[in-house]
Every structure is written in structure tokens, then in C-alpha cells.
Amino acid sequence: MDKNVGSRYVTREYRTLHEGKDLHYFHLQLKQTDLAIGVDKESYTDSLLSLCEQEIRRLRADLESYIEISPEFYTSFEPVDLLPEAPPLAVAMARAAALAGVGPMAAVAGAFAQGVGEILKNYVHDIIVENGGDIYINTSRERMVAVFAGSSKFSNRIAIKIKSQESPLGICTSSGTVGPSISLGQADAVVIKGINAVLADAAATGAANRVHTAEDLLKAVDYVKTIKGVMGILAIKNDRMAVWGDMEILAL
């Protein structure tokens, strides 16, 4: 279901870099959906794994059924109109895509992270759901999200601080040089902080599409400034970066 292309960076070693010591982590994979889920250790029970698996299956079934009757939803690189039969996940993706000016599938990874996170918040105190670099965070304490930017000198050397009062929120990354997802640009990493992971994912895709050289970084910044719900951006190409908004960058 996800739009994929070949890449050198299709493994998930980066996950070991962001795992919080106070969280219990488990992993779930169904087809292209590959989630790393962290919840506070005090709240974890084995039943959460089953709960998340059921939710992933439900969300995927709803979306796959909708794509069968609306193939344009899957193929379009621009916002599309929804049919009356659209499930809530497709509605959320389409709304984010309309705000960001991209196709709805640009928000699919963030949408699954958001959907699972919203189910979990009824059972736990702290949650991090990561889906291929797209993250839903609901936290009661300060967190740091490490930035992986391929061969850039900034890769794994900087992090974005997340304050508890900001959550829940989405932190999503798009890249033209890292990962299997389609990008029309060549950014090493564009990280968006947004009011939710669905919007952050769509905006990250749109911003990364605009970066082909280091001279394009400010184009990505100018683009996200127009999107309601985007809180900040970090864009990286080679040895240069651009930052705007509420993005506190720390050295690792």
C-alpha cells in the first residue's frame, strides 16, 4: 500500500538511538506498516500488543477497501476529493494533504502512527509510536528526538527537544536520500513538528520535494510557513541546515 522505491537505507538501526530508558518498547509489522512503539513501563501490559495489532489490521483494512473504490487516492501526487465512503483515516490523510498540497498517501505513515497512538493514550501515560521516521508523541516528560540524515555530517549528531507541554504532537521526517518512500527532492532530511503526525508527515513530504540542492533549503522553510498546524521545520542538505519555528536543536 505504501509508495516505495529502492534505497540503501531500508533497515531500522536508527531505532536504537531514540529509545527512552523509561519506556518499554515493542515492535509490530503488518505488510508495509512497521511500528516501533514505546510506552511507560508502569503502564505496559502484554494486552497492549494485541490491542495495537487489532488497530493496525482495522486501519489497513479500512484504507485498502477505500483504495479499491478510489484508486486515485493511492496514485495522486496532489490533493483529491473524497468519496462519501471514505473511512476516518482516509479523511484525516486527505485533509492533511489538502493543507500541504500533496497527495494523500504522503501522510500514510504518520496517519498510522497517529491512529495507534490515539488508541494507546487511553491506557498509558507516555507514548512514542514511530513508523519509518514518522512519530506520534504523547509524553509527560522532556524528550529528545535524534535526527538521522544519511551521509550528512549532521546525521545522528543533533536532536530536537520535545517539551511535555507540547504533546501530543507529530515529528515526521522526509528524505530524498534516506528510506524507501518516494520523494521528488534530494534533501538528506526534512523534519517537521506539527500538531499531529498526519499533518507533519504530509508537510514533511511537501517540504522535502522542494529541496534539490543546499540553496533550496529556504524554499522548504517558506513553504511550511503557510501551513496551519506546522510548528517548526529542520531541513538538511549536505553540510547545511535551515531551521524555523519552535525547534530547539541540541548537540548529541
% pLDDT > 90, the chain: 77
Segment 197-213, tens digit of pLDDT: 999 999 999 999 999 99
Least confident of 51-65, 139-153, 226-240: 139-153
With cell 489490521, the residue in question is: 57
Confidence grade of residue 97 (pLDDT, cut at 50, 70, 90)? very high
Q: Would you state the pLDDT for residue 181?
A: 59
Is residue 2 over pLDDT 80? no
Q: Would you state the pLDDT for residue 156?
A: 85
Segment 73-83, tens digit of pLDDT: 999 999 999 99
Least confident of 44-53, 101-110, 149-158: 149-158
- Topology of domain 15-251, per CATH? T-fold (3.10.520)
Strand 134-138 to 169-174 pairing: antiparallel
Domain ranges across the chain? 15-251
Segment 129-138, tens digit of pLDDT: 999 889 999 9
Segment 153-179, tens digit of pLDDT: 888 889 999 999 999 999 999 986 665
- Long-range own/partner contacts, residues 59-64 (CB < 8 A, 24 or more apart): 59/89, 59/111, 59/112, 59/115, 59/116, 60/1, 60/30, 60/31, 60/33, 62/87, 62/88, 62/89, 62/90, 63/1, 63/87, 63/89, 63/90, 63/108, 64/1
Is residue 10 over pLDDT 80? no
Q: pTM of the entire structure?
A: 0.88
Residues 163 and 73 sit within 8 Å (Cβ to Cβ): no
- How many Å apart are CA 94 and CA 131, to the nearest integer? 19
Confidence grade of residue 20 (pLDDT, cut at 50, 70, 90)? low
